[in-house]
Structure 1
């Protein structure tokens, strides 16, 4: 498959990107606050680029589920860190229909329950857990790249801690009301005043808690900012694809 367009800077189609990625692989790191659209955008990008999707938030949710099932106190730092080391977590990287298992139990739907959202702040701010997660997540990303494909990961500190050397690093932002509506639709399927207020508290508490251990509202050096407010999902996807093409052009020129 020709990759002339990437080499020359001409318009690029999906097949040309796939061919380029097969040659050099790619890792994409996307950070952002709750409701910024990073999960939706990442899944679409993974599908179009033919690479894996790593839902790092789901990993924290799965651990929260496991901790609650084991009857542990989510605020017990050491106990939760030990639980992480013993958790048998399996997850596929399919961008359109990802699944997770803890042991033999599929938890794909269970980790999206409100009770998980209420407790996850204890897990996500546990520094020992974050260290364990970063190692696991980076390993998955690097393995996918080495296999001649790649992976896109989204979360809070992917661009700075998990994979600061990712080929493409993006901070995805949006105004607070836009983020709130997106997350409410994701959880409840509507944006009724009652559900908006429930999610408002969850989003605020989660963001404030995570800001104590990760900076995801300001870009680190070398991280590109994409503001999704008013853009729409396709607009955000197009913006990130432009960054992907730019990165692939640069690396192909070096080979």
Structure 2
């Protein structure tokens, strides 16, 4: 798209279940950009820790081994991949075991520092949509477009339960709210709305409408460039 600036970085942050992944993939696909799911990196790190027998609730033990796994993310928005030491873990990182362990692993500063290096290397010269919880505030604070997605907890629970094949919505809602508390309360790179980020409440919108709004933000940046 001619209105997409060269070297563009679009930072998409927000709460669990607010539509970050679907929105980011849709925007990247529509604009011909690469896509990076940083959350998958933390899940991959968690999967490796579990496989290695590390106590994920022992921050020192996690920190001591955070440099060991080699994590590589594919950046095709139509077919994103994630590999650990050459093994495709795209399905494995979505297991209940990883779901239950990813929060304590993600809170370890050494893990965040290690993956920050990997994330910035993947971003490189730009041309990418990056989603996570600290992209606009920490990973890519100079991103030309920053978006912060939220949604009503009930809507988030409904969406996430549907994604998980009809899980209990009340239990899913409590799980999401607990993740919010952990993400916003951690000492290192907490979930916050970055300076300059545009807040989008996705509750009342379809996915395509949210993608339209983010694409419009990118187009506006291109027109000013």
* TM-score, L = length of structure 1: 0.82
Aligned to 1:16, what secondary structure does the other structure show? coil
Counterpart check, 1:16 vs 2:2: yes
DSSP-derived class of the 2:175 partner? helix
Larger Rg: 1
Report if aligned partners of 2:155, 2:203 keep a CA contact under 8 Å in 1: yes
SS at match of 1:34: coil
Q: CA deviation at 1:201?
A: 3.3
Q: Which sits farther off after the overlay, 32-41 or 91-100? A: 91-100
Do the aligned partners of 1:33 and 1:156 also contact (CA within 8 Å) in 2?
yes
Contact conserved, 1:65 with 1:111, CA < 8 A, in 2?
yes
Instruction: Give the equivalent residue in structure 1 for 2:201.
Output: 227
Matched, 1:88 2:70: yes
More helix by share: 1
The Cα offsets for residues 167-221 of structure 1, whole Å up to 9 and x where unpaired, read as 10010111111111111222x222x5xx2234233212221111112453x5332
| Structure 1, 76-85 or 101-110: larger mean CA deviation | 76-85
- Report what 1:115 is aligned to: 97
Counterparts of 1:150-189 in structure 2 under 5 Å?
150-186=127-163, 188-189=164-165
The partner residue of 1:62 within 12, 21, 44 is 44
CA displacement at 1:16 relative to structure 2 = 2.9
Gaps of 5+ in 2: none
Q: Which of structure 1's runs of 4+ aligned residues deviate more than 6 A?
A: none
Structure 1 residue ranges without an equivalent (≥5): 1-14
In the comparison of the two structures, how many residue pairs are matched?
Answer: 223
Q: Give the Cα–Cα distance (whole angstroms) in 2 for the partners of residues 89 and 199 of structure 1.
A: 29
- Cα deviation for residue 139 of structure 1 reads 2.4
Post-superposition Cα deviations, 1:129-167, rounded to whole Å, max 9, x if no partner, equal 1122222212221x142xxxx111111111101111101
Aligned partner (choices 209, 219, 225) of residue 245 of structure 1: 219
Question: What CA deviation, in whole Å up to 9, does each residue of 1:36-64 have, x standing for no partner?
Answer: 00100000111111111110000000011
CA RMSD of aligned residues (A): 1.6
Identify which of 22, 26, 29 aligns with 1:40: 22
Cα deviation digits, residues 71-125 of structure 1 (max 9, x gap): 0011222332233211011221111211111113211000001111111110111
